[in-house]
Amino acid sequence: MISTAPSLPPAAEMRRAYLASDAGYDGVFYLGVRTTGIFCRPSCRAKKPRPENVEFFADAREATFAGYRPCKRCRPLEAPGTPPPWIARLIADIERDPSRRIREAELRARGLDPARVRRWFKQHCGMSFAAYCRGRRMNTALQAIRRGESVIDLAIGHGFESESGFRAAFERSFGHTPADGSGASAVDPVRVAWLDSPLGPLLAAARDAGIVLLEFTERRMLEAQFDALRRHFQVPLVPGDHPLLRQLKTELAEYFAGARRAFTLPLVYPGSDFQRAVWNALLQIPYGATRSYDDLARAVGRPGACRAVGTANGRNRIAILIPCHRVVNKNGQLGGYGGGLWRKQRLLDLEKGIEPVS
């Protein structure tokens, strides 16, 4: 497999991107600052260097071999979107015991600002930290009820003072009260889970009918996507596991290793007739190929409707599996991508056999 370094955007474009701290260019290029000897991501929030003191690199390796050391503020050697260690530890604690309640006093005892924790979960998970913990707790309870465990045992085991308090919390989450060993099978919430990838963490969601969400976690529209899922399915979103999420993890690992060209997972993507037509057309673009927005507009019978096609393309909720990354501008330039242009380039390179993602 031939490896070639990705080409850099025009210098003026890179200058504009780093001066604007544009995260969409993270991974597309890095900038070395001659006066300090450090290199940064374009999104770095440190004081901007003068343009004449900056040189650009296609990857972190080039910057390192040129003698620059990584910035301690933007940490350019880490995969963009990687949860910071303090969040990773918090999530690990929740997963070890979903029934445990982590209150603000405990967060402060860990040296964490509760407001900062809330902001991070709201931005990256579309819900507050309390809602995330509650959803994880309730989803665990739902699975236990399906196995036939008693409501009173679950109430005590999940830290509720009474059975009635547990029933009320369950009803708020799932729309009806639980029943001992029955009634829970009708509940099919949207299960949300984190998946690691070589391009940073992905937030995935599934119902029994199929995968309903796959997005890179720092995407700005993530909260809007969650709202759309709640509106479409009229069910709660809860952190939890699902067989389709486990299958998704396996198939994505095979894809990034270059061993899978097509996914076999069922997909559920409600939307307007036009949006679904666009998303269906995306599914017809072969692995390793690209289409222009003009091509896509003609494929859905709307020649000239490039802007509308681009909007529908941007509202795709299932990245990679519905391959919106395979749509580029007519002149061959990348165009836009909600997960960041650097990810779009890496995905296209992977599929063309240019540069394996590792």
CATH of domain 85-186: 1.10.10.60
Q: Which of 40, 71, 74, 133 is catalytic?
A: 40
For the chain, what's the residue count?
Answer: 358
Whether residue 263 has pLDDT greater than 80: yes
Enter the tokens of residue 32. Answer: 């070395």
Q: Which of 44, 133, 306, 324 is catalytic?
A: 324
Active site residue 324: yes
Whether residue 182 has pLDDT greater than 80: no
Read off the pLDDT band of 185 (50, 70, 90). Answer: very low
Which pLDDT score is estimated for 187?
Answer: 63
For the stretch 98-132, pLDDT in tens is 777 788 888 999 888 888 888 888 766 667 888 78
As a whole number of angstroms, the distance between CA 148 and CA 283 comes to 41
H or E element that contains 167:
helix 163-174
Whether residue 179 has pLDDT greater than 60: no
Whether residue 81 has pLDDT greater than 80: no
Considering the entire predicted model, what is its pTM? 0.61
Same fold, 85-186 and 273-352: yes
DSSP class of residue 319 equals T
Active site residue 125: no
Residue 243 Cα to chain centre, angstroms: 19
CA distances (Å), origin 146, targets 134, 151, 155, 182, 239: 18, 11, 15, 7, 17
CATH of domain 273-352: 1.10.10.10
Residue 305 Cα to chain centre, angstroms: 28
How many Cα atoms within 13 Å fall on the side-chain side of residue 125? 27
Angle made by CA atoms 39, 42, 46, in degrees to the nearest 5: 70
- The highest-confidence range among 179-188, 219-228, 234-243, 298-307, by mean pLDDT, is 298-307
Per-domain residue ranges for the chain?
11-70, 85-186, 190-256, 273-352
CATH architecture of the domain with residue range 190-256:
2-Layer Sandwich (3.30)
Instruction: Count CB neighbours of 13 within 10 A.
Output: 13
Whether residue 2 has pLDDT greater than 50: no
Stretch 87-97: mean pLDDT: 83
Enter the tokens of residue 325. Answer: 């990354």
Pick the CATH number of 11-70 from 3.40.50.300, 3.30.1490.190, 2.60.120.590, 3.40.10.10: 3.40.10.10
